Amino acid sequence: MRYVTNDSEKDIFVILSIMKISIIMFIIIIYASGQNYREMLKTQNFGQISLGSWALLFCFLTLIFATWIIINLKLKVSVNFKSSWLIENTFFILIISLPIYLFNAYDDEYKYLFLLLIISSVIKYGLRYGILTSLFSSIFVLGADLLYAPMVNGINVHFEKDLIMVGIFIFVAWVLGFYVELENESKKKKDNQLQLLNTELEEKRTERHIIEETLLKNKVCFDILFENSQNAILVHSHGKIMYGNRSAARLLGYEDSLELNDESIYKHCLQKDIMTTSEKYLNIINKRLSKVVYEASILNCKGETIQVRDTSSFFMYDGRASVLTFLLDITSEKQIETLKHDVEKNLRLLNESREFNTLITEFFTNISHEFKTPVNVISVAIQTMGVLLENLNVGNIEKCKSYLKIMKQNCYRMTRLINNLMDITKVDSGFIKINKSNDNIVSAIEDITQSVASYIKSKNIELIFDTNVEEKIMAFDHDKIERVILNLLSNAFKYTNSNGHIYVNVEDRRESVIISVKDDGQGIPKNMLKVIFERLGQANRSLSRQCEGTGIGLYLVKSFIEIHGGKISVVSEEGKGSEFKIELPAELVSDENYKDRTLYETDVERINIEFSDVYSISI
């Protein structure tokens, strides 16, 4: 299931162990601080917790902790994957569920410990077993509600609240498991490729070592017997070969070294290298040079190309000025260099993959935070409304209405997040579709801008729309362009302070249309300008950032613009604001008539969804 390096496996094991130890520590804290447990341990005489009870509790929890360590160490060396998952998850589900069922704590926050268990199970065992863990956890959570939670007007409020929680459990397990499976498959392929490359490289290194060792052993005979030299040795003058040893004959493809005599040395040069090679050899003779080394490609008698290192020196042979040339076949060396280059390239890809893993981890941390916030808000609102409805009066009705507004806004926030996740999946898989129609782009942009004017004005920000043309008929997908403009306006609104300005401009350039959204807000750091359009890219990824977000909004904006055949760019200076420019081709769809723009009025609910995390909605 896991295809990672030993170091990565060790790191993941440490992280998972920390998570599981944290679960056990949380359980210990729950037992020690739980009101129900303290009541159970009070003595009859003094109403205080006895020392013996504390000692019993401590021993019991220490036994649980030690049991898990023993089980974990055994599971680490176990070869039965299914049994490992079953034992480990049964153990943790039981110790998390025990205080819930023992103390009737169906409405406490312990249940969120199941989320830690689900995440660790998905990372360690994959999608399938992660989903099973989330289902079993959900059964225990909902079972406690059914057994212990009271009915209010015939409705189990806690059961309904926890349905949302278990839905989040299953959704997180599915999304995280999907990415874990993809990453495991990618790592498996990369590891196989690297293993193959390393094997080939090691073989080439061994081969080279053997060649070098053989040459070293023959060094003693080098000055005595040319014939036994492992180097190809040629003696030539003015292009004619006067002597060649057996190694030279083998290198050039001859059966007998005598066949080299009186052969032209330029016969074995590439056509394009004959002139330069001739000049080099003549220069060696004329200037009596020694040890001139260069690399070249030569041809054997079969016409095959061989990479060689040519070492030539001035030499007197039978009283004639000649050139002594040593040829060393470096074909394997070149192949090793090529393999090294390929390995470096694959290592770069591996590092990029690891960086992407970090990005995915940050993304899931953020998305868990994004889901948890509205779920918690809705949960608190439901509980508060339940209390208010028990004592129903006019004042409580108004308070309930305000809590309904809060619940509605946070439902919009979750809808926006889910829509973005679905769209990014469609974009990555290539299933996103565009439905172009001929329409007035100027009026469409103006209507979208004016539809959010009241929301922007609520923050004392001035919204200004301008255009150099009143009408421009062109083909575009109204829904996609509306989401693009709403997203850019939402971002501008988030990062623009009170009394600031937001400018929306449409410019007709005949063959194209330029749409710009500019603000004088906080701006974007220079080093993050290229990151914000990437998938999961954010200028600020910390959980303590000023505004909510997952980092996929601008990625979808860029994708929607590109499927229109357009492009988007940004110019920003920190502290002075940002300007996003969109360029769309001014094309028309054939057999498509101009449609009345009233058919495409901006959907108010879509505006509410896009602005759900930056303004208060009304019902």
Copy the structure tokens of residue 328: 């060393």
Contact 58, 98 (CB under 8 A): no
CA 378, 383, 389, 394 torsion: positive or negative?
A: negative
Average pLDDT on 384-391 reads 82
Q: What pLDDT sits at residue 465?
A: 93
- Mean predicted confidence (pLDDT) in 544-549: 45
Question: Could you report the per-residue pLDDT of 340-380, keeping only the tens digit for each?
Answer: 888 888 888 888 888 777 767 766 766 676 677 777 778 88
Structural class in CATH, domain 226-329: alpha beta
Structure tokens at 107: 């409405």
pLDDT of residue 18: 74
pLDDT (tens digit per residue) in 293-317:
888 888 888 888 888 888 888 887 7
Average pLDDT over residues 256-275: 83
CB 208 within 8 A of CB 336: yes
What per-residue confidence (pLDDT) applies to 3? 39
Q: Do 580 and 569 meet the contact criterion of CB atoms below 8 Å apart?
A: yes
Average pLDDT over residues 4-27: 68
> What pLDDT is attached to residue 185?
83
Domain range summary for the chain, segments of one domain joined by +? 1-217, 226-329, 431-610
pLDDT tens column, 418-458:
877 777 777 777 777 888 899 999 999 998 888 888 878 88
Percent of all residues in the chain with a pLDDT value above 90, rounded to a whole number: 10
Chain centroid to Cα 158, Å, comes to: 37
518 has a pLDDT exceeding 70 = yes
The sheet carrying 305-317 orders its strands as 240-244, 232-237, 320-329, 305-317, 292-299
Per the rule left: phi > 0, alpha: psi between -120 and 50, beta: everything else, 474 is beta
pLDDT in tens, 203-240: 877 775 665 455 445 444 444 556 667 778 888 888 88
The Cα–Cα gap between 340 and 343 comes to: 5
For residue 29, the model assigns a pLDDT of 67
Between CA 104 and CA 618, with CA 376 as vertex, the angle to 5 degrees is 135
The reported pLDDT for the residue numbered 611 is: 66
Helix (H, G, I), strand (E, B) or coil at 595: coil
Q: What is the mean pLDDT of residues 324-333?
A: 84
pLDDT band at residue 541 using 50, 70 and 90 as cut-offs: very low
CA distance linking residue 524 with residue 488, whole number of Å: 14
Over residues 124-160, the pLDDT tens digits come to 888 888 888 888 888 888 887 777 777 777 777 778 7
Residue 594 pLDDT grade (very low, low, confident, very high; cuts 50, 70, 90)? very low
Strand 501-508, strand 462-467: pairing: parallel
Tokens for 356, please give them: 């992407």
Element holding 240 (H helix, E strand): strand 240-244
Residue 607 has pLDDT above 80, yes or no: no
Work out the average pLDDT over 270-274. 85
**Measured distance CA(514)–CA(520) in Å, rounded:** 20
Q: Higher pLDDT residue, 257 or 369?
A: 257
Bridge partners (DSSP) of residue 581 are 516, 569
What is the C-alpha to C-alpha distance for residues 72 and 263, in angstroms, rounded to an integer?
A: 76
Q: How far apart, in whole angstroms, are the C-alpha atoms of residue 574 and residue 526? A: 8
Largest CA distance in the chain: 124
Band of residue 473 on the pLDDT scale cut at 50, 70, 90: very high
Contact 239, 266 (CB under 8 A): yes
Q: Among 177-186, 250-259, 420-429, 579-588, which range has the highest average pLDDT?
A: 579-588
**Residue 174 to residue 130: CA distance in whole angstroms:** 8
Cα(613)–Cα(403) distance, integer angstroms: 16
Contact between 489 and 452 under an 8 Å Cβ cutoff? The reply is yes
Q: Quote the percentage of the chain above a pLDDT of 70.
A: 74
| In the block, residue with structure tokens 């055949």 | 565
What is the per-residue pLDDT for 507? 94
Q: How does strand 232-237 pair with strand 240-244?
A: antiparallel
Maximum mean pLDDT: which of 150-164, 233-247, 387-401, 564-578: 564-578
Nearest to 419 by CA among 379, 352, 370, 359: 370
Class of residue 591 by CB neighbours under 10 A (exposed 0-12, middle 13-18, buried 19+): exposed
**DSSP letter string over 115-184?**
HHHHHHHHHHH-HHHHHHHHHHHHHHHHHHHHHHPPPBTTB-HHHHHHHHHHHHHHHHHHHHHHHHHHHH
Q: Which residue has the higher pLDDT, 35 or 470?
A: 470
For domain 431-610, give the CATH superfamily: Histidine kinase-like ATPase, C-terminal domain (3.30.565.10)
Q: Is 370 helix (H, G, I), strand (E, B) or coil?
A: helix
| Residue 32 confidence class, pLDDT cut points 50, 70, 90 | low
Question: Mean pLDDT over all residues of the chain?
Answer: 76
Query: Is residue 579 a contact partner of residue 572, using CB atoms and an 8 Å limit?
Result: yes
Q: How confident is the model at residue 519 (pLDDT cuts 50, 70, 90)?
A: very high
Burial 166-190 (b: 16+ CB within 10 A, else e): bebbbebbebbbebbbebbeebeeb
